[in-house]
């Protein structure tokens, strides 16, 4: 671990730098698949599923029988855990519903704002060794609360052409309308353009490897919206002497096990805590099944000592962590100071894992400093707001002259005419 | 104008197709400017301002003296009109503030969501013959309500190196913190990377020509957020026999004068109204200063007759218009049916111009069918939501077991450990 004591402000940028990757090679692969899929639809999906996933899939759509089978394969205890998590996620996201707002801005000028669901959304769930059913909860639950009418999901099949039972169970539980056995670039392309089997969607959500990430970025060029740009997952913990070094170390490691490029940072105003956390990490890492991955992330991690709270708070805002754990005596000061973070975990009994799975908050969060400008996924991610206005005869007489003047000053005579005609008709009345 | 009677559903897609442009040439120009500016900063800005705008600008930052001078050059009547518009925009966007929400999802598990302003935003205001000061109102007013601490603006200088007084007056009125004389690709690049003069921002807002549009799209690759992807402006009017053909024609023309690629569509259940609107358009277009532009847009416009309201409503949702005027007797049916539109204008006395300038709604809206998945600019466009959670000892005992099970099932042992350590410590108490 890299220990850094009182870094100079001019060095913050380089200390907090995230690793950046070249995507030029990936882009050309993505463009090839996109071009082919636009022409050949399902045939392209099958071709690349054979090439990338090493399996030939006859039917892309998961059948009801497969879902029934999956249902019987998931342990009852896990189902109960998933149900608890679903209930909490449901409560927290349902509370995010907002009322329409209406204002009479000038006499006779009524303006209102209404949110409506995005009708067609697509969820991407990665494959690999671990079945990320928790991400289905985080995406499908708010999509349902929003009222999206079509919620499709794409996830890659394994070598036997199957999908993990926990994935199918959770997707069915959360009201996903159709599940397709397709992953990677071809899944994103299919949801972008639509194929014979897979419907086109208006917005794509979900994590993925760097191919999926670049494919989502390129999909936006074709008019599809995406949840947010992605980067490696990251955690920053701020801890003082009131923190528990054992707990802090376990949180840092839970981040580190995600991948070798995971970002793990401790900021502390206590040199003793810095030393204790380092020792605890070395101890706990030994027993982890994913030790090799975690070790590489830990090797790149940073333990930063800063003399005072204000400087620490400024550095944390400069970084803008995806996950931010606050274990300090003076919580209030850190909470009011934080401007840039995805999700904040407070106190010694609030591990990041809680928010990853079951507390109710969303775990799809802005990485890579994007907390400066992006929200994590929330109910509004599945809706768009529209404005309405209705102006009475009195209303247009109230604001018409201002519109005429402004339109004229912008050189838009027809804009002015649309008002003048109406005002003249009222003069004649 | 193209008159289409009862089109078959399978032809809707081609009838409603917007013109698409190739951006490959533009992309390479944008990439060149971005690469140079990353290396050379202000020098690149000055080089391209000379090349594209034909003027050499010594100081990019607009001075206080220039603002004082502009203030004296804007007519008092126009100032009053701008103030009225500002007041209405202010009222409507201030009403969009939302309270933090807090939920105890399980006993001892407190989750809350808070919105914070995006600290640094950049506004782009195009140059050209018409000074688009109204767009400054639409962007800077909500940025200020949101509490953005740095609101910079870039706009191209004219051949004398100056900026239109109405632009400077409005920007200063609306609390823009710094105004820079730079336009086009180089402005977007400057706000993306920052230069010696121009600060880097987290999100870029505002309209522009196709170079600016592509530059904004490419800026997202470097981590900057943008308001939304852009396309030519568009209007769809639905009218029955209760509409006023003269007014409808004036609205279609106010859209048509924007540019030769503007999209203008009338949908009607009345053949008589269709004929009347066509005649009125031919009449009114004669007197427009921008007749040549409007005529080209009108040549491509469509007057679509449909026999019944429900089919009309489905076609309109399929199109997803940026601006949507509803002039029919049964308003309620059309309003409850609309899922995809940027901003909706209701009744005979609500011209699009009202929303463009002074009613209070925002005029920065999703074009190109993006109303299916994007909101128009609103207060939330300048904020991001963050989640917080604090779990008590009781709380982690309540949900800890579910987290352990789910983490284990996803193969993430360190995530489980972070909970197990805490649960064990409580068992020991």
Q: What tokens appear for B197 in the block?
A: 């003069």
Residue of B21, B122, B127, B412 best to disrupt the A interface, most CBs of A under 10 A: B412
Chain A residues touching residue B368 (CB < 8 angstroms): 223
pLDDT of residue A118: 98
| Domain at B24-100+118-226, CATH from 3.30.70.1430, 3.40.50.1980, 3.30.9.10, 1.10.10.10 | 3.40.50.1980
Contact across the interface for A360 and B251, Cβ inside 8 Å: no
Q: B416 burial class (0-12, 13-18, 19+ CB within 10 angstroms)?
A: buried
Residues on chain B touching A250 (C-beta within 8 angstroms): 414, 417-418, 421
pLDDT in tens, A181-196: 999 999 999 999 999 9
In this prediction, residue B22 carries a pLDDT of 64
- Best of B349, B363, B396, B416 to disrupt the A interface (most A CBs within 10 Å) is B349
pLDDT value, residue A1: 83
- A119 and B95 within 8 Å at the Cβ level: the answer is no
Tokens describing residue A142: 């708010």
Q: Which residues of A touch B396 (CB under 8 A)?
A: 349-351, 354
For B391, which of A134, A221, A359 is closest by C-beta distance? Answer: A359
Q: How confident is the model at residue B18 (pLDDT cuts 50, 70, 90)?
A: confident
Look at residue A20 and tell me whether its pLDDT is greater than 70: no
Asked if residue A80 has pLDDT above 70, the reply is yes
Residues of B in contact with A342 (CB under 8 A): 386-387
Residue A145 clears pLDDT 90, i.e. is over it: yes
CB spacing of A359 vs B81 below 8 angstroms? no
C-alpha–C-alpha distance, residues B402 and B420, integer Å: 11
Among candidate residues B234, B322, B352, B363, the one labeled active-site is B322
Q: φ, ψ for residue B170 (rounded to 5)?
A: -65, -40
Q: What is the pLDDT of residues A313-364, one digit of tens each?
A: 999 999 999 999 999 999 999 999 999 999 999 999 999 999 999 999 999 9
pLDDT tens digits for range B222-233: 989 999 988 888
- pLDDT value for B96: 97
Ranges for all domains in chain A classified under CATH 3.40.50.1980: 2-16+232-360, 24-100+119-226
Select from A117, A223, A356 the Cβ nearest to the Cβ of B415. Answer: A356
The topology under which CATH files domain A2-16+232-360 is: Rossmann fold (3.40.50)
Using 50, 70 and 90 to split pLDDT, how confident is the model at A260? confident
User: Closest partner residue to B410 among A132, A217, A387, by Cβ?
Assistant: A132
CATH code linked to domain B392-428: 1.20.5.1300
Among candidate residues A164, A322, A352, A363, the one labeled active-site is A322
* B chain contacts of residue A351, beta-carbon cutoff 8 Å: 396, 403, 418-419, 422
A372-423 pLDDT, tens digit each: 999 999 999 999 999 999 999 999 999 999 999 999 999 999 999 999 999 9
**Boundaries of CATH 1.20.5.1300 in chain A?**
392-427
Contact criterion met (CB below 8 Å) for A417 and B253:
yes
Residue from B323, B363, B394, B404 carrying the catalytic annotation: B323
Q: How far is B279 from chain A (nearest CA, A)?
A: 16
Quick one: pLDDT at residue A22? 64
Domain A392-427 class, CATH top level: mainly alpha
> What is the per-residue DSSP string for B80-126?
HHHHHHHHHHHHHHHTT----EEEEEETTEEEEEEEEE-SEEEEE--
Strand partners, B204: B122, B226
Which CATH number is B2-17+232-360 given? 3.40.50.1980
Q: Provide CB contacts within 8 A for B391, sequence distance 6+.
A: A347, A349, A350, A354, A359, B108, B109, B110, B399
Tokens standing for A72? 């019987």
- The shortest CB-CB distance from A402 to any of B358, B366, B422 is to B358
Q: Tell me, what's the pLDDT at B130?
A: 76
What mean pLDDT is predicted for residues A58-71? 96
pLDDT tens digits, one per residue of B183-236: 999 999 999 999 999 999 999 999 988 899 999 999 998 989 999 988 888 999
Q: Could you tell me how many CB contacts below 8 A there are between chain A and chain B?
A: 411
Domain with CATH 3.40.50.1980 in chain B: 2-17+232-360, 24-100+118-226
- Is domain A24-100+119-226 in CATH 3.60.15.10, yes or no? no
Asked if residue B323 belongs to a known ligand binding site, the reply is yes
Which is it for strands A302-305 and A2-5: parallel, antiparallel or unpaired?
A: parallel
Pick from A77, A91, A375: CB nearest B384: A375
Residue A152 reports pLDDT greater than 80: yes
SS3 state at B304? strand
Is B356 part of any known ligand binding site? yes
Instruction: Reply yes or no on whether A323 is catalytic.
Output: yes
* Annotation marks residue B323 as catalytic: yes
The answer to whether the Cβ–Cβ distance between A414 and B105 falls below 8 Å is no
| Coil/strand/helix, residue B379 | helix
Half-sphere exposure of B9 (CA within 13 A, CB side): 7
Kindly state the DSSP code that residue A396 receives in the 8-state scheme.
H
Q: Is B217 annotated as a binding residue?
A: no
Closest approach of B5 to chain A, Cα-based (Å):
27
> Is B406 close to A85, i.e. CB distance below 8 A?
yes
Length of chain B: 429
Cβ pair B338:A221 closer than 8 A: no
**pLDDT tens track for A5-15:** 889 988 888 88
Question: pLDDT-derived band of residue B428, with 50, 70 and 90 as boundaries?
Answer: confident
Asked if residues B400 and B417 have their Cβ atoms less than 8 Å apart, the reply is no
Strand partners, B205: B123
Sequence-separated (6 or more) residues with CB below 8 Å from residue B75: none
CB contact under 8 A, A360 and B103: yes
* Tally of residues, chain A: 429
Give the residue on B whose Cα is nearest the Cα of A147: B339
Neighbours of A350 (CB within 10 A): 27
- Tokens found for residue B298: 């009108």
């Amino acid at each position: 671990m890299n220990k850094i004591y009182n870094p100079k402000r001019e060095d913050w940028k380089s200390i907090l730098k995230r690793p950046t990757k070249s995507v030029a090679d990936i882009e050309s692969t993505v463009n090839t698949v996109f071009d082919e899929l636009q022409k050949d639809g399902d045939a392209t999906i099958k071709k690349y599923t054979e090439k990338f996933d090493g399996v030939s899939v006859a039917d892309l759509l998961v059948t009801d029988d497969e879902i029934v089978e999956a249902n019987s394969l998931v342990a009852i205890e896990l189902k109960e855990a998933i149900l608890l998590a679903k209930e909490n996620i449901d409560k927290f996201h349902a509370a995010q519903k907002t009322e329409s707002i209406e204002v009479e801005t000038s006499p006779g000028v009524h303006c209102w704002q209404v949110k409506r669901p995005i009708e067609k959304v697509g969820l991407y769930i990665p494959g690999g060794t671990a079945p990320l059913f928790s991400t289905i909860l985080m995406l499908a639950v708010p999509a349902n609360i929003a009222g999206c009418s079509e919620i499709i999901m794409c996830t890659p099949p394994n070598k036997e052409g199957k999908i993990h039972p926990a994935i199918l169970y959770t997707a069915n539980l959360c009201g996903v309308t159709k599940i397709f056995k397709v992953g990677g670039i071809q899944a994103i392309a299919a949801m972008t353009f639509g194929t014979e089997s897979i419907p086109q969607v208006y917005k794509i959500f979900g994590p993925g490897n760097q191919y999926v990430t670049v494919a989502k970025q390129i999909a936006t060029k074709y008019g599809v919206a995406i949840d947010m740009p992605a980067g490696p997952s990251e955690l920053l913990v701020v801890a003082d002497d009131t923190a528990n070094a054992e707990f802090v170390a376990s949180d840092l490691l839970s981040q580190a096990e995600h991948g070798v490029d995971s970002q793990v940072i401790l900021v502390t105003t206590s040199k003793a805590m810095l030393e204790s956390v380092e020792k605890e990490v070395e101890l706990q890492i030994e027993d982890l099944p994913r030790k090799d991955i975690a070790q590489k992330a830990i090797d790149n991690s940073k333990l930063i000592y800063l003399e005072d709270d204000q400087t620490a708070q400024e550095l944390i805002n400069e970084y803008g962590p995806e996950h931010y754990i606050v274990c300090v005596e003076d919580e209030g000061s850190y909470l009011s100071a934080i401007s840039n973070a995805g999700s904040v975990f407070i106190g010694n009994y609030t591990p990041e894992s809680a928010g990853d799975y079951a507390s109710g908050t969303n775990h799809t969060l802005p990485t890579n400093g994007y907390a400066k400008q992006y929200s994590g996924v929330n109910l509004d991610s599945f809706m768009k707001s529209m404005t309405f206005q209705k102006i009475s005869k009195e209303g247009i007489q109230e604001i018409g002259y201002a519109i005429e003047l402004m339109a004229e000053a912008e050189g838009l005579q027809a804009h002015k005419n649309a008002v003048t005609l109406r005002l003249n008709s009222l003069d004649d009345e």
